[in-house]
């Protein structure tokens, strides 16, 4: 029976450490979140980030625009924030409306204020083995959980299911930089279960039920990044948790696994960027 990796408790511990750190800073870190439109999921995430920031002592500003805003108007605002010395971290909540190109918007954010770690400079530094201004939040949260539970990475075979720029690709590079042997699987991968069954560390970030007991090696570490509502409107993840926990050595639940860590890492990144600028 697997040990359950408690992301919620780990995130709370990090929050308390950040609260203490921020209380000692002469100038409080300032996070600005831009939200375009009224996506219900985005409303929840933005609100969660705002509450967590305020609880830590980080100044949090939410800028909301209607879906009708043009790409140029949005980029002009980002450039204004880039030049504002009172702002240390900028986040544009995704998804964006179809007429706004996500790539152009991310490109507009200054690397020194890129709290998500998505800009070309920060992701390029990560790829080249250079320490970026900050690491992407979810991959950073995954690696922090492995560290908190003293799970060895060097020399292990890590399989990542999902190749997004937000999770799959950066977590692969970060594990590679920690001396894991890494395979990335995706929707076109053939014989997925043959690959996942070999993994010492299995990370899934797809957003649908895709990892089952017969796909997991005995005593593997299983990290579930996926989160969605099932047909019964219950929050669940990529992994068949109840059955997979019988064979895994460690496993993250959904919820209370990777999700709380993503927000904790966002707060940590905000503090790190502020310290670099103050």
Tens digits of per-residue pLDDT, 108-137?
Answer: 999 999 999 999 999 999 999 999 999 999
Task: Indicate whether 120 belongs to any domain.
Answer: no
Tell me the pairing of strands 228-229 and 235-236: antiparallel
Q: Report how far Cα 273 is from the mean position of its chain's Cα atoms.
A: 16
Its pTM stands at 0.96
What is the pLDDT, as a whole number, of residue 156? 98
Q: Which residue segment(s) compose the domain that 211 sits in? A: 137-258
Q: Show the CA angle centred on residue 130, arms to residues 14 and 124, nearest 5°.
A: 100
Annotated catalytic residues are 49, 93, 116
Q: For 199-229, what is each residue's pLDDT tens digit? A: 999 999 999 999 999 999 999 999 999 999 9
Task: Indicate whether 107 belongs to any domain.
Answer: yes
The verdict on 175 and 95 lying in the same domain is no
What is the pLDDT, as a whole number, of residue 245? 98
Torsion of CA 107, 111, 116, 121, to 10 degrees: 70
Q: CATH number, domain at 188?
A: 3.40.50.720
Task: Indicate whether 4 belongs to any domain.
Answer: no
Q: For 13-72, what is each residue's pLDDT tens digit? A: 999 999 999 999 999 999 999 999 999 989 999 999 999 999 999 999 999 999 999 999
What is the pLDDT, as a whole number, of residue 275? 97
């Amino acid at each position: 029976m697997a040990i359950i990796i408690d992301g919620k408790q780990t995130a709370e511990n990090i929050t308390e450490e950040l609260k203490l750190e921020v209380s000692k800073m002469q100038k409080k870190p300032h996070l600005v979140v831009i939200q375009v439109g009224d996506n219900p999921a985005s409303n929840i995430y933005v609100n969660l980030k705002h509450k967590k920031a305020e609880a830590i002592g980080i100044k949090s500003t939410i800028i909301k625009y209607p879906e009708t805003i043009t790409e140029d108007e949005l980029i002009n605002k980002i450039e204004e924030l880039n030049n504002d010395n009172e702002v240390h971290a900028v986040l544009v909540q995704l998804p964006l409306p179809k007429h706004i190109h996500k790539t152009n918007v991310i490109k507009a954010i200054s690397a020194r204020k890129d709290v998500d770690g998505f800009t070309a400079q920060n992701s390029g530094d990560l790829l080249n083995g250079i320490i970026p201004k900050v690491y992407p939040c979810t991959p950073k949260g995954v690696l922090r959980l492995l560290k908190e539970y003293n799970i060895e990475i060097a020399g292990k075979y890590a399989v990542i299911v999902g190749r997004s720029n937000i999770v799959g690709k950066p977590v692969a590079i970060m594990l590679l930089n920690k001396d894991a042997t890494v395979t990335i699987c995706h929707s076109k991968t053939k014989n997925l279960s043959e690959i996942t069954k070999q993994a010492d560390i299995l990370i899934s970030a797809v957003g649908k039920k895709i990892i089952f007991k017969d796909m997991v090696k005995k005593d593997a570490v299983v990290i579930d990044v996926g989160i969605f509502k099932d047909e019964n409107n219950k929050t669940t993840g990529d992994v068949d948790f109840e059955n997979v926990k019988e064979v895994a050595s460690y496993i993250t639940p959904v919820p209370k696994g990777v999700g709380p860590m993503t927000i904790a890492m966002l707060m940590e990144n905000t503090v790190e960027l502020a310290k670099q600028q103050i």
